[in-house]
Amino acid sequence: MACMDDYLEVNRLNWDERATVHAASAEYGFDRPLLGDVTGLTGIHLQCHIGTDTLSLARLGARMTGLDLSPVSLEQARQLAADAGADVDYVEADTYSAVEAVGGRTFDLVYTGIGALCWLPDIDRWAGVVADLLVPGGRLFVREGHPMMWAVDETRTDGLTLGYAYFETPDPFDLEEDGTYVENDHEFVNTRQLSWNHGLGETFTALLDHGFELTGFAEHRSVPWEALPGRMVRDGELDEWRLVDEAERLPLTFTLQARKR
């Protein structure tokens, strides 16, 4: 069993090493299903990584802050914003410390996802942080990997087999990942990752318990990265990956929208 205290350090090393490779990749791009108008909003992008989506939100007219655990990711994000002439604030912090890290400021929009929630052990605690970051009436927008997809054994290519817990578990998945989700020839040394799954009901309940109303929920048959290698094909029209076979059996991502009462 992995020690709960070291999960931030293990995952920070992992993401620091991946940040430079991701910044050099053309595969990183913005995805904005269902987002709507963000002009004039103040927004915080939790787990912003190299800041591509943060920059896109700024370009759409939001005044953005990006927050991430990984200093190397934030270096890349700051450079990207500077190159684009965009004014974005970046803050280095664990998501659970976000409220203190931004000095108690509140925002109109919290944006997160695309491989963010899986790095957090406790979805209820996350929902509490998101509530504290929002003004009353503020919006949460999450596009995220579906917990059913995270539960599938990615090493099996002979059909869809469950390999991991669907529900949140006290202990993390303690996995070795010697690559990353963009094409590259880097030899990774920080290969350990500690992650968790969160069932949809657990996520909905956490948000309802922290004073949110759900305003939108959709499940998708596509995912922005090749989540189940060997079984996916790039869909040029969607600019995302989808299953070659049995596509109707498995939701790959979801978009959740909620409003703080």
Judged by the rule CB under 6 A, the positions of this chain that interact with ligand SAM are 8, 11, 15, 47, 49-50, 52-53, 68-70, 73, 94-95, 113-116, 119-120
Nearer residue to ligand SAM within complex by CB, 44 or 114:
114
Q: At its nearest, how many Å lie between ligand SAM and the CB of residue 65?
A: 13
Q: At its nearest, how many Å lie between ligand SAM and the CB of residue 18?
A: 8
Strands (E), the chain: 42-46, 63-68, 89-92, 107-113, 134-145, 173-176, 192-195, 212-220, 232-235, 240-243, 253-260
Nearer residue to ligand SAM within complex by CB, 204 or 225:
225
Nearer residue to ligand SAM within complex by CB, 47 or 222:
47
DSSP 3-state of 107: strand
Q: At its nearest, how many Å lie between ligand SAM and the CB of residue 136?
A: 25
Give the span between the Cα atoms of 241 and 221, in whole angstroms: 9
Check if the beta carbon of residue 220 is closer than 8 Å to that of residue 212. Answer: no
Check if the beta carbon of residue 230 is closer than 8 Å to that of residue 243. Answer: no
DSSP 3-state of 30: coil
Q: At its nearest, how many Å lie between ligand SAM and the CB of residue 216?
A: 19
Nearer residue to ligand SAM within complex by CB, 107 or 119:
119
| Cβ neighbours for 28, distance < 8 A, ≥ 6 positions apart | 22, 50, 52, 182
Token code pair at residue 61 = 């007219």
Q: At its nearest, how many Å lie between ligand SAM and the CB of residue 113?
A: 6
- Please give the torsion angle defined by the CA atoms of residues 68, 70, 72 and 78, in that order, rounded to the nearest 10 degrees: 10
Nearer residue to ligand SAM within complex by CB, 13 or 247:
13
Give the span between the Cα atoms of 253 and 221, in whole angstroms: 7
In degrees and rounded to multiples of 5, residue 53 shows phi and psi of -70, -35
Nearer residue to ligand SAM within complex by CB, 179 or 247:
179
Q: At its nearest, how many Å lie between ligand SAM and the CB of residue 49?
A: 3
Strands (E), 17-113: 42-46, 63-68, 89-92, 107-113
Nearer residue to ligand SAM within complex by CB, 28 or 212:
28
Q: At its nearest, how many Å lie between ligand SAM and the CB of residue 91?
A: 10
